[in-house]
Amino acid sequence: MPPKCLDAVRALGADSLSACQQERDPQSTVLLSFVTHVPARARDLTGPLGWALLLQVTRAALAAEEPRVDRLQAQLKKLIAFPQDPQPLSDSVVATIQEFQRLKAKTSRLCNAADVQLWQRLQRPLQDLQLWRALAQRLLDVTASLPDPPSIHTFLPQIEAALAESSRLKEQLTILQLKKDLLGGVFGQERAAVLLEQVATSVRDRDLLHNRLLQRKSKLQSSLAQHKDFGAAFEPLQKKLLDLRIRIQAENGLQRDLPGKQAQLSRLQGLQEEGLDLGAQVEATRSLIQDNPNHQHKMDQLSADYQALHRSLEDLMDRCQQSVREHCTFSHQLLELRHWLAVLTQKLEAHRGYLGPWDAQSREAEAERLLAELPEKEAQLPLIEALGRLVMEKSSPEGAAMVQEELAELAESWGALRLLEESLQSLVRNQQLQRTEVDSGKKMIFTNNIPKTGFLITPTDLISRHHRRARPLLREGEGSHEDFSQLLRNFELWLQVENSKLVRIIAMKAATAEDLRTRETKLQPAELHPCKYCICGLQKNVTFIQYPLSLFILNVYPV
């Protein structure tokens, strides 16, 4: 090979090596970042759901880097194709490939290990629930026969601790049930469904044991209360009722967003369980009341306060559940409408950008089909706005501002879609007008696009009184062929002008009665009547018929 060619090949190989290194260095940096920071970031996130979110983000980031890996491999293949002076290039290629494979394998191992560890951590609440079930069953068996007061003092705190652990486990399992989409994205729908089924079964078993423990606790407390005086049993109930009232009042505030409302509802459900426990204790304490009016009055007042607090808690839970349902409905419908707006806008932009004479009619039909969806979706706007106002009323000021911003963005997107619709309709009308003007020598039917029962003009209707009256005039004009040709050209010119006027008038949108009167006024000068051009009908088979403007039809039949 000549020296100049060899130098050119080496220069090209150096350029390929440089491009390969430019693709390799960012990829290596990204992979090293994941290898270095994934464990640290995992430690910063608390709970298994934090691991799930980090794992999902890591996999998405690795998937996003795959195109760069493909480009890197393509550069390496091009680099190997150069035969001159291969040793330094081969070393660099081998080093790059080995580094890439090592980093990719290490990242894959980390992801797999994180997946396994995450699954084990998600199984931990189920395992803890199994241990709790064994403990709860043992407590129920031991306290089946009512023991003496010292035994009650021994087992009653254990039952209360078991109930507290039960509430904690239910809260963890409820959070897992609320994160169905996240679990499906990390483990796949099948594994997530199996896990959620296990969670649902465990929650049902836990609820049964929890209720049995509550009954046993109430029974033990009732037995214990029989051995104490009324004052010793009454004061703890007062303190519990006051503490429960304070905690319920703390949950009476508005939340910012949907996750906050769901968390508030979960806390209220826990308070409801505590309230039921307190109600059972109040009823058990009534057995200590003997013929003491003072004790009877205190107990009645405590029971009335408890009933009022219970009704207040029920009302608060109903409002919270209603707020969660409304917010879920609003978010779902808003997301669907945003997606529909984005898809329709993209399609209409494509039709507006590629609408041309070669496929105008098919694209016009497709555009009209897409635009036909607008009225139905537009009817949903008031419903979504009404839902948004309800959500704003039941959200904190920060949350109401966020909803208001979302509604403003929706209105802006809808306005942009309306502008696009008008632009596309104008473009379609212009295309139709151009085709109409080009085809003016063919048969044309103009209507006002109002679907009414009309009439039909057939070629057999061409023989009319105007033709019969025109025959003598034609015989008189047979001697002057030039006059007849001039008359025909004048008529065709007049016909084209009137054609254009009619197309523009009919293409106008008539939304009100005033618009209809304006259109009729513009059409009046175009009403046809026998004129000097009618003589041409004998030679060109041209028929002009005068009908009401709303059903005006013009037929032209060339020879």
373-427 per-position pLDDT tens digit? 788 888 888 888 989 999 999 899 999 999 999 999 988 988 888 888 887 777 7
Residue 232: its pLDDT value, please?
A: 78
What's at 427, amino acid-wise?
Answer: L
CB burial readout 381-399, b (16+ within 10 A) else e: eeebeebbebbbebbeeeb
* pLDDT at res. 208: 92
Does residue 553 contact residue 445 with C-beta atoms inside 8 Å? yes
Q: Where are the alpha helices (DSSP H) in 508-533?
A: 513-523
Write out the CATH class of domain 3-112. mainly alpha
> Please, what is the average pLDDT of the chain?
71
Nearest to 48 by CA among 111, 116, 128: 116
Q: Is residue 281 within 8 Å of residue 237, measured between CB atoms?
A: yes
Place of tokens 């040793």: 87
Look-up of token digits 């993209």: 346
Q: What is the pLDDT of residues 253-308, one digit of tens each?
A: 888 898 999 999 999 999 999 998 888 888 888 776 766 677 788 888 999 999 99
For residue 384, give the 3-state DSSP assignment. Answer: helix
**Higher local confidence (pLDDT), 55 or 498:** 498
- In angstroms, the CA 317 to CA 252 distance is 10
- pLDDT higher than 80, residue 362: no
CB 523 within 8 A of CB 505: yes
Query: Quick one: pLDDT at residue 118?
Result: 74
Strand partners, 555: 543
Query: Beta-carbon neighbour count of residue 111 at 10 Å?
Result: 16
pLDDT: which is higher, 53 or 107: 107
- Output 408 or 517, whichever has higher pLDDT: 408
Say whether pLDDT at 139 is over 80: yes
Nearest to 506 by CA among 492, 516, 495: 516
Among 90-104, 113-127, 146-160, 390-404, the range with the most confident prediction by mean pLDDT is 390-404
Any idea which residue has 């998937």 for tokens? 63
What per-residue confidence (pLDDT) applies to 314? 92
For the cut 60, the answer to whether the pLDDT of residue 210 exceeds it is yes
Q: Of 184, 177, 282, 186, which Cα lies nearest the Cα of 230?
A: 282
Residues 6+ apart with CB under 8 A from 545: 457, 461, 464, 528, 553, 555
**Sign of the dihedral defined by the CA atoms of residues 411, 262, 200, 129, in that order:** positive
Which carries the bigger pLDDT value, residue 84 or residue 62?
Answer: 62
- 291 phi, psi to nearest 5 deg: -85, 65
Mean pLDDT confidence for 148-161: 84
- Count Cβ neighbours within 10 Å for each residue of 208-237 and write b for 16 or more, e otherwise: ebbeebbebbbebbbbbbeeeebeebbeeb
pLDDT of residue 347: 81
pLDDT at residue 39, rounded to an integer? 46
Residue 220 vs residue 102, higher pLDDT:
220
Q: Are strands 555-556 and 542-543 parallel, antiparallel or unpaired?
A: antiparallel
Residues above pLDDT 90, as percent of the chain: 16
Distance CA 211, CA 222 (A): 17
Q: Where are the domains of the chain?
A: 3-112, 144-327, 337-438, 459-556
Check: CB of residue 202 under 8 Å from CB of residue 262: no
Residue 330 pLDDT class (50, 70, 90 cuts): very high
Q: What is the pLDDT of residues 157-204, one digit of tens each?
A: 999 999 999 998 888 888 887 777 777 777 777 877 878 888 888 889
Residue 66 predicted with pLDDT over 60: yes
| 122 has a pLDDT exceeding 60 | yes
Q: Over 50: is that where the pLDDT of 550 sits?
A: no
- CB–CB of 56/182 below 8 Å? yes
How many other C-beta atoms can be found within 10 angstroms of the C-beta atom of residue 54?
18
Mean pLDDT of 65-80: 66
Which residue has better confidence, 368 or 196?
A: 196
Alpha helices in 147-257 (DSSP H): 149-178, 180-187, 189-225, 230-250
Q: State which amino acid sits at residue 412.
A: E
SS3 state of residue 395: strand
What was the pLDDT predicted at 426? 78
pLDDT recorded at residue 252:
87
